[in-house]
Each structure stands twice: as C-alpha cells, then as structure tokens.
C-alpha cells in the first residue's frame, strides 16, 4: 500500500526588523557619500574630482534623502524616485565600461545600485546590504595602485558613520537611548582606531600586505631590526649615506617617526592634482603631528622615569577606587546642598548610594527599581538593612509627593547612606557605625 506523498512546507525566511526612523538611513547615506568621494578621488589626475564629487553627492541626496523622507513622513514618493534612479543607473552602467576597468566598473555598479535601492530602505536587511556593498567598494579603493595615505580623509569618516548607523539601529532594538549608545560606540571605534594605528606603526607586516597605500611587505614598521639581522635585506631600512649617518644614529628611536612624517610631506608636495583645501588640511595635520612629537620628546626628556611610573601607578589606584571616590564626592555635595536645596541633596545622596552598591559588587540590573536595587544588596548587618529600609521610606515619600523635602529629610538620608556605606566599604566597624545612627530613628 503506497503512502500518499506529503507536501514539505518550506520555511519562510525570518522577517527583518524595521529601521528606527530616518537616523540609520542618513548615517548610511553619509557613509555612502564618503566612499563615493574616495572612489572619485582615485581619478583626480584627470581633473574631474570636483565634478564627480558633485554627481555622487546628488545621487546620494536623491537616494538616501528620499529614503529618510519615506521613513519619517511615509507616502509613495520613494517608489517613484527609486524607479527613476533605476532607469538612470542602467544608462550609467552602460557607459561605465568606456570609462573604467572591469574591477572599478563592478564598484561603480555597486555604488549606483546601492543609491538606487536607498529610497526603499525600510528594514535592517536593507541597511546591512547597503553597508556591505559600500564597505566592499571602500576595500577596493584602499587597495588601488593610486591610493595613498591621503585617502583616509574619506575612508575614515565613512567607516565611522557606518559604525554609528549600526549602533543607532542596535540601540533602537535593545531599548537603549541613542544618547547612551552613540558615545559608547564612538569610544569603541576610537579605541579600535588607536589599536589599528599602533599595529600599523609598530608591528612588522607580512609580504601579503604590500599593495595599495600600505607599505612594502618587508617593511618592519617603526621597530628597527638589530644590526646584522637576516631580516634586514635589500627592502629593509637602509643606513643613510654621508655625514648624516652619525646624526641619524644619534637621534635613536625618533628617526622612524620623522622619516614617516617626511614621507607624508613629500607625497603632499608631489601630488599637484589634490584639491587645495585638502592639501592645506592635511598639511596642518602633519604639522600638528610634528609639534606633538616634539612636545612628547621634550616632555620625555624632562620627566624622569620614576615620576612617570608614579603617575601611572596613581592613575591605576584612582581607577580602582573610582566608585569609592564617587561615593565620597556625592556625599560631600549632598551635605553642601542639604540646607539650601533639600531635594537636590537627596538626589545626590541616592547617587552616592548607587556608587556604593556598584563598588561593592551590586550593580543595578536592567529594569530594576530603586527599592529592588537597594534591598537586593546582600549584607550581614541587620543595622545596615534597617537603615536602608528607613532611607527608602523617607526618600519614597518625598519622591512620590507624599511629603515635601525638608532639610531634616536631606540630612537624615545623608547620614543613613553614609552609615550604610561605612559598613559596606569596611571603613568603620559595625559597632562604630551603630553608635552614629541617624537622628530620628529608634533602636529595635
């Protein structure tokens, strides 16, 4: 007996989350413009950089501007703009092979298609696809034979804006405020940039990276190989000829930095097709780096090593004690405001308690109320538990309008939080803390 065939139901692809307003679209548009300008910058020797930049700016305004308008206002205008840009993009791609080689024509197709799809950008999948296409073009631009270090004026902001676009969307999905997420994302991108620069300047590079704006593969960075090392071949650092060799050898580790800045100045001087504003800006950055290097060299010569080590040790100690320092600072401010602004004083005291709980291993959980946070802290002291409950009752009465804040309430809350903090920080014994009970409480 044959069994009836069963239809296999294909699993549908999961739906992508919608974009959080026009913010991610505008940031992705800024990333697109910077990469498109970098793409046009490669043709500056043909004196068409200004015209191409204006064309790419107009293409981005039509595409991503319509997408942002659609996300904020709605309507059917985006579909009409996308159809018109698609027709114009096909005409541009037909002419593209006459202007570019095949790899660059592929990048041109990616940029044109990304701009044409931008008016209909509505989900995270659309945002990710646009950023992937833009980043792929940026990698090709960075590895082009005509690329040099001046290209970072366009690629750096492009990657920064791309990261901020992803952070904006992630903040909206996680329920976080963009005022919190964007500074953290900026700090993360800055840290990654510093680490990348450190690796670029100091770490030896394998031969596979000898292309585009990157230095030769046999270059050892700012680390000088030892004399007679096998790594110092024909492509390694050469000893300067003439009488300058002794001077260069006497300057020590500062030579690689000056040599790098000198090469950057030389490239600026040889490139006569660069826009004047860009030349002035980059020349100012190089001069600023030279001044910073001279100042750092003078400071290193004036500051003894033991003092530098002491400063590092002090910074480490302050970082370890940051929560306790914040607790003390908030309490001092609360004491100063108790007689003048009682409500502000109580708010400062609450912040001091939060710093104390964080410093003693009890941070606030997401969605946790103030009462749950304070009472959820583990403690072996019944006195500290009772004072915490009484402080919460006093602050809750003022916070929710059951009574008006007075100087007595502010001083009571200050004394209670200070006593609880003394117990939690182990700065005073519970017996001494019990002897300093806040006024107005009764012994149980």
Residue 184 lies in a domain: yes
Whether 64 and 43 map to the same domain: the answer is yes
Q: Are residues 372 and 413 in the same domain?
A: yes
For residue 213, give both structure tokens: 């704006």
What is the pLDDT at residue 252?
A: 47
Look at the chain and count its residues. 444
Nearest CA among 364, 324, 366, 331 for reference residue 346:
331
Q: Among 242, 236, 235, 239, which residue's Cα sits nearest to residue 223? A: 236
Question: Is-contact 346 405, C-beta < 8 A?
Answer: yes
CA 356 to chain centre: 29
Residue 321 lies in a domain: yes
Tell me, rounded to whole angstroms, the distance of Cα 115 from its chain centroid: 26
Assigned domain for 236 exists: no
Residues 164 and 31 in one domain: yes
Flag whether pLDDT at 7 surpasses 70.
Answer: no
Structure token pair of residue 131: 């950023």
pLDDT digits (tens, 9 = 90+) for 26-61: 999 999 999 999 999 998 888 889 899 999 999 999
Whether 364 and 271 share a structural domain: no
State the Cα–Cα distance between residues 356 and 359, nearest whole angstrom.
Answer: 5
Please tell me the predicted confidence (pLDDT) of residue 224.
52
Same domain, 409 and 349: yes
Do the domain assignments include residue 92? yes
Same domain, 91 and 192: yes
- The answer, yes or no, to whether residue 105 has pLDDT greater than 80, is yes
**Of 357, 348, 337, which Cα lies nearest the Cα of 425?**
357
272 and 417 share a domain?
no
SS3 call for 237: coil
Based on the domain organization, do 30 and 135 belong to the same domain?
Answer: yes
Please write the tens of the pLDDT for every residue from 188-216: 778 877 887 777 667 665 554 445 555 55
- What residues make up the domain containing 158? 22-202
Q: Please indicate, yes or no, if residue 298 is contained in any of the structural domains.
A: yes
With contact defined as beta carbons under 8 Å apart, do 222 and 202 qualify? yes
pLDDT at 333: 92
Half-sphere exposure of 314 (CA within 13 A, CB side): 6
Rounded to whole angstroms, the Cα distance separating 226 from 304 reads 27
- What's the mean pLDDT in 165-177? 77
CB atoms within 10 A of CB 128: 15
Q: Taking the alpha carbons of 47, 51, 54, 56 in that order, is the dihedral positive or negative? A: negative
What pLDDT score was predicted for residue 244?
A: 41
Residue 340 lies in a domain: yes
Distance of CA 28 to the CA centre of its chain: 16
pTM for the full predicted model: 0.62
Tokens of 345: 């004083």
Report d(CA 393, CA 84) in Å as an integer.
Answer: 65
Residue 237 maps to a domain = no
Q: Does 262 lie in the same domain as 325? A: no
Find, among 143, 94, 85, the residue nearest to 118 by Cα: 85
Question: 363 with 376: CB under 8 angstroms?
Answer: no
Report the domain count for the chain.
Answer: 3
50-54, 178-182, 250-254, 356-360: which has the highest mean pLDDT? 50-54
Rounded mean pLDDT of the chain? 79
Q: Give the closest residue to 346 by CA, choosing from 394, 285, 276.
A: 394
Identify whether residues 169 and 273 lie together within a single domain. no
Measured CA to CA in angstroms, residue 164 lies from 31, 35, 44, 111, 293 at distances of: 10, 15, 29, 20, 31
In contact, 69 and 78? CB cutoff 8 Å: yes
Reported as a single tens digit per residue, the pLDDT across 13-25 is: 567 788 888 889 9
Instruction: Yes or no: say if 419 and 387 are a contact pair by the CB < 8 Å rule.
Output: yes
Bridge partner residues of 123 (DSSP): 18
Residue 13 lies in a domain: no
Quick: pLDDT tens for 361-404: 888 887 788 888 888 888 878 888 888 888 888 888 888 877 78
Please give the C-alpha separations between residue 437 and each of 289, 324, 349, 425, in angstroms, as whole numbers. Answer: 58, 21, 16, 17
Amino acid 377: pLDDT: 82
State whether 81 and 126 are in the same domain.
Answer: yes
265/332 same-domain check: no
Task: Compute the distance between CA of residue 58 and CA of residue 52 in angstroms, rounded to an integer.
Answer: 10
């Amino acid at each position: 007996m044959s069994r009836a065939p069963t239809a296999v139901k294909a699993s549908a692809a999961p739906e992508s989350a919608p974009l959080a307003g026009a913010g991610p679209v505008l940031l992705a548009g800024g990333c697109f413009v910077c990469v498109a300008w970098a793409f046009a910058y490669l043709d500056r020797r043909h004196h068409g950089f200004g015209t191409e930049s204006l064309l790419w700016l107009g293409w981005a305004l039509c595409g991503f501007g319509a997408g942002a308008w659609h996300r904020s206002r709605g309507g059917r205008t985006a579909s009409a703009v996308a159809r018109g840009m698609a027709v114009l993009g096909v005409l541009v791609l037909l002419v593209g092979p006459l202007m570019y080689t095949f790899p660059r024509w592929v990048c041109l197709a990616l940029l044109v298609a990304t701009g044409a799809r931008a008016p209909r950008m509505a989900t995270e999948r659309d945002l990710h696809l646009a950023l992937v296409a833009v980043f792929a073009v940026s990698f090709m631009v960075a590895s082009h034979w005509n690329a040099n270090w001046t290209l970072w004026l366009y690629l750096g902001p492009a990657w920064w804006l791309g990261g901020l676009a992803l952070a904006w969307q992630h903040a909206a999905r996680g329920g976080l405020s963009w005022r919190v997420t964007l500074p953290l994302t900026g700090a993360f991108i800055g840290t990654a940039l510093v680490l990348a620069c450190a690796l670029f300047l100091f770490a030896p590079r394998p031969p596979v990276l000898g292309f585009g704006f990157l230095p030769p593969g046999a270059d050892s960075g700012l680390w000088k190989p030892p004399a007679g090392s096998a790594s110092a071949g024909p492509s390694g650092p050469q000893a300067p000829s003439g009488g300058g060799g002794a001077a260069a050898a006497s300057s020590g580790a500062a030579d690689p930095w000056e040599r790098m800045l000198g090469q950057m100045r030389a490239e600026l001087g040889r490139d006569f097709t660069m826009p004047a504003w860009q030349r002035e800006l980059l020349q100012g950055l190089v001069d600023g780096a030279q001044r910073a290097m001279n100042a750092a060299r003078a400071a290193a010569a004036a500051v003894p090593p033991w003092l530098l080590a002491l400063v590092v040790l002090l910074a480490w100690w302050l970082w370890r004690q940051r929560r306790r320092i914040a607790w003390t600072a908030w309490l001092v401010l609360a004491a100063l405001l108790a007689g003048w602004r009682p409500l502000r004083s109580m708010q400062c005291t609450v912040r001091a308690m939060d710093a104390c709980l964080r410093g003693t291993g009890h941070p606030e959980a997401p969605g946790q109320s103030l009462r749950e946070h304070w009472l959820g802290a583990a403690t072996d002291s019944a006195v500290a538990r009772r004072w915490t409950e009484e402080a919460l009752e006093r602050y809750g009465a003022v916070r929710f309008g059951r009574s008006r804040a007075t100087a007595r309430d502010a001083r009571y809350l200050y004394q209670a939080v200070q006593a609880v903090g003394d117990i939690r920080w182990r700065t005073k014994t519970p017996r001494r803390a019990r002897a300093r009970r806040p006024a107005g409480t009764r012994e149980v």
